[in-house]
Each structure stands twice: as structure tokens, then as C-alpha cells.
Amino acid sequence: EPSLRQLAAQKGLLYGCAASSNFLAADAPFAALVAEQAGILVPERELKQYVVQKKEGAWDFSGAEALAAFAAKNGQKFRGHTLVWASALPPWLEQKLGNNPSENLLTDMIARECGRFRGRVHSWDVVNEAVVPGFLHPDGLQTSSPWYQAFGEGYIATAFHAAREADPHALLFYNDYSVEMRESWQGGRRTAILNLLEKLKKQGVPIDGFGVQGHLKPFLEHFDEEIFAAFLRDIAGLGLKIMITELDATDHPGPADPAQRDAAIASLTRRFLDVSLDNPATIGVLTWGLSDRYSWLSMDPSRKWPDGQLSRGLPYDGDLKPKPMREAIAAAF
């Protein structure tokens, strides 16, 4: 039985997953599964600002280094996630951003973080989730972001320039969610994202790709092959690579019967990946975790089952047994 990483590699693609250093260290069977199935690893939290800069000046890369070492040992590539994200700010940094900071705050941070992993990272999510649902701002940017508030929309270009300088070997990505469904608010997001990326390319900003997070909601939203395919064509038309960076599926609310949920998740996963992989600009797929044993979907208040049962949104279940979603990913490669 070939692994997902082998199946992807046979097509010249990458398959991988997000992982947490503590779970890899504490759970040997889980770690063995991650080593076997993933060809690229991304830290679920270990490179976010609230971890690496929990206290001002007290840089902590221990978790990220543990993951990078795990990846190196298992011949896996390593992804960086994420340098600039409004939702990953430690309180001191948020406060500083509100206090008329110098741009060095941003560029020094990137030089430090990105520079440390220079040459070891396949791709960085330089900026994450900079766009709002709808058109609250003419450009669709999230103006309430402390980064925007501090530096205006130029923070995005500045971040990419700083990342390129710190690590010229890494592919640089803008990463965002909710772009695959036919809901009209997602149409607003697609337009805002395309406008942003087009502007960055026109300005000569060093950006290599767009990351489609791919947090699917099979029982809440409606997938549309044509809309998503057209969006990916537009992205590729800008000369950008595409990666599916955080694939998973929320199964609450959904049918009580887990088998029914598994089937719906698998079928949507297949349709989503068929469109994604049909575009030659797509270079890989990562799921946001590998096993339901450790999934943010079972912890996030807006996504978890109130009765405490595990979410079933990842390729392997809580007993590390493959589910239909795993077969769907394998078949899509």
C-alpha cells in the first residue's frame, strides 16, 4: 500500500500535513504515521508570533526546531507558517503595533524568523488572511488588522521583500481561506484576493504562490467546480504557483451517522482536489493534521461537536485507521 507522499511524488507533487511538536514527541505510533505519509511538514503553531515571540525579545524556536529536525530525519520538506497574521499576535506585540511603531518592527522580525531557517524551508506563508469577507474596504483588505493599522496596506509588500531578503531559497506564499465555494461572500473574497495579488505582481513584489487553505464545510457550504477552477486559472494566470495548504472538513453540524459524514467528506475532498490538481500550477497538498486524534476541529468552539466526540475531518481517524477521506486523496493523486 503506497503512502500518500509516494502517490503524490509519482505525479511530481507534494503531500504533507501540519503537526505539533509535542504530539510527535509524545505519541510514537502517530509520529510513525506522520513520518510514513507526509513528504512535507508544517508547524501547526510553532512558528506563529504568539509562540516564537511570546514575550518581547525572548525568542523561542524550540518547537519549530524540533519539527524541522523531525522533518530532516524523515526526508521531509519543511514549510513555514506564518510570519504575518493578525490572529497570531501576542498581546505585547499587538500593543506595540498600536503605538506608531517603526517599520523595523516588521522587517527585523522577518529577518530573525525567516533568516534563522534560511535554506531549510520549502515555502513560507509570508502573509496569512489579509482579506475580509465582502468589501468593507475598497481593496477588500482587513483594515482592522493591527499590521494594517500600523503600516497601511504596504505592510504586505514590505513583508514579502523582507522574506525574500532573509531567505532567497524559499518560495513565498500569500495564504487565505474560503475561496472554493459558490456562496456570494466567497466571491467577494476571491475578487479581493485576485486584486491584491495582481497589485503585488505589478509592483514587482517577490511573491511565488497562493495558498488555498481548504477548510471545507461539506454540510454548510456549496462547492462549485467551475467557480473554483476559474479562480485557480486566474491565480495561475498571474504567474503564481498554487498549494492546498490546510485541507480538512468540518463535520459539525452534520448527520449523526459517522459513515454518512465520512462519505460526504470524501466525496467533497475528491471534487475539490480534482479541480485543484487539474491546474498545472498546483504543486502540492497539505492537510491540517493527519489524524482526528489531534485536530483543531475538535477543539475550535465554532467547529467542534458539543458532545465531545472527535471531529472526522482528517484522513485518519482517532485510532490512526485510514478513512474514506484518505482514499479520496490517494485517488485524486
Q: Which residues are catalytic?
A: 129, 246
Distances (CA, A) of 16 to 34, 187, 262: 8, 28, 21
Q: Where are the alpha helices (DSSP H) in the chain?
A: 4-10, 21-26, 28-37, 49-52, 62-73, 91-97, 104-116, 146-151, 154-166, 184-202, 225-237, 258-278, 324-332
Burial 64-77 (b: 16+ CB within 10 A, else e): bebbbebbeebebb
Q: Nearest 5°: phi and psi at 289? A: 115, 175
Grid coordinates given for 207: 511573491
Provide the minimum distance between the beta carbon of 189 and ligand XIL in the complex, in angstroms, as a whole number: 14
Report the nearest approach of ligand XIL to the CB of residue 45 (Å).
Answer: 5
The residue among 259 and 299 lying less far from ligand XIL, judged by its C-beta, is 299
Q: For ligand XIL, which residue has the nearest CB? A: 296
71: left (phi over 0), alpha (psi -120 to 50) or beta: alpha
**Closer to ligand XIL at the Cβ: 52 or 330?**
52
Minimum separation from the CB atom of position 178 to ligand XIL (A): 10
CB of 257 to ligand XIL, least distance (A): 26
CB 48 to ligand XIL: min, Å: 7
| Amino acid type, 211 | G
Question: Which one, 186 or 213, has the nearer CB to ligand XIL?
Answer: 213
Of the candidates 190, 170, 168, 188, which has an alpha carbon nearest to the alpha carbon of residue 179? Answer: 190
Q: Which is nearer to ligand XIL, 213 or 291 (CB)?
A: 213
* 48 versus 326: smaller Cβ distance to ligand XIL: 48
Interface with ligand XIL by CB under 6 A: which residues?
A: 44-45, 128, 213, 246, 296
On the 0-12 / 13-18 / 19+ scale of CB atoms within 10 A, 166 is buried
